[in-house]
Structures are given as structure tokens and as C-alpha cells.
């Protein structure tokens, strides 16, 4: 059974930082394209960042230069470093793993940024 378990969310002031973790079981994250998405209240889920099996990264324009996605294949874990947080970054952040027809989601972790 595949599980993606996010952690690291919380309440932080604007300008602060958080590091989200996504621990995977049942899949080998190194061969998947792993990503982080977020969904704010009343809005659609949107892409934040992805990292391919080759290590190529892709970011939403709104987070470029502030967020960094990385992976530790020895721990089967993907991270999202969130710096210089803004109130508009407030959302539930979801971990995702894709490989061909396989598409897995975590349960999400709440990030709240106060002004």
C-alpha cells in the first residue's frame, strides 16, 4: 500500500520559514516525479514545485526564489523549504508522486501565514 505522509506545517508569521517533509512508503520516490501542490480555501489546487527522477526542478512563478524542493533518496523523503512566507501562501500543502499511470497523494499539511 502506498502512503505519502506530509509533516512540518504550522502557523508562522510573514517573512518566516517552514520545512515540509513528505515521507513515502510503498513506492521508491527516486524513480517518481515528486511534487508539492497547495489548495487555499475557495481555490483550486495548484502546483507549487516538482522534482523529476533526474533531479530537475520546476516552480510556480509565485514561489520562485522563495521555495526549494529537494529529495533524499536514502530516506525516501521529499522536502519543501518555504522561505520569506507571505499570507497568500496560506493553504493546505499536498505531496504528490507520479510515474506513468500511477498518481498518489498525501493527506495534506496546513500552512498558515499571519500578517
pLDDT computed for residue 109 by the predictor:
98
pLDDT computed for residue 65 by the predictor:
97
Separation between Cα atoms, residue 34 and residue 30, nearest integer Å: 9
* CA of residue 90 relative to chain centroid, distance: 13
pLDDT computed for residue 58 by the predictor:
98
Condensed to tens digits (0 to 9), the pLDDT of residues 74-111 reads 999 999 999 999 999 999 999 999 999 999 999 999 99
The Cα angle at residue 80 between residues 74 and 81, in degrees rounded to 5: 115
Condensed to tens digits (0 to 9), the pLDDT of residues 13-64 reads 999 999 999 999 999 988 999 999 999 999 999 999 999 999 999 999 999 9
Separation between Cα atoms, residue 54 and residue 97, nearest integer Å: 14
Amino acid at each position: 500500500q502506498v502512503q505519502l505522509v506530509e509533516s512540518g506545517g504550522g502557523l508562522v508569521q510573514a517573512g518566516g520559514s517552514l520545512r515540509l517533509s513528505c515521507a513515502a512508503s510503498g513506492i521508491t520516490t527516486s524513480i517518481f516525479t515528486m511534487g508539492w501542490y497547495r489548495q487555499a480555501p475557495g481555490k483550486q489546487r495548484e502546483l507549487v514545485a516538482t522534482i523529476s527522477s533526474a533531479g530537475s526542478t520546476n516552480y510556480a512563478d509565485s514561489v520562485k526564489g522563495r521555495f526549494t524542493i529537494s529529495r533524499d533518496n536514502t530516506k525516501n523523503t521529499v522536502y519543501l523549504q518555504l522561505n520569506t512566507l507571505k499570507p497568500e501562501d496560506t493553504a493546505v500543502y499536498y505531496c504528490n508522486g507520479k510515474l506513468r499511470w500511477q498518481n498518489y497523494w498525501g493527506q495534506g499539511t496546513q500552512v498558515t501565514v499571519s500578517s
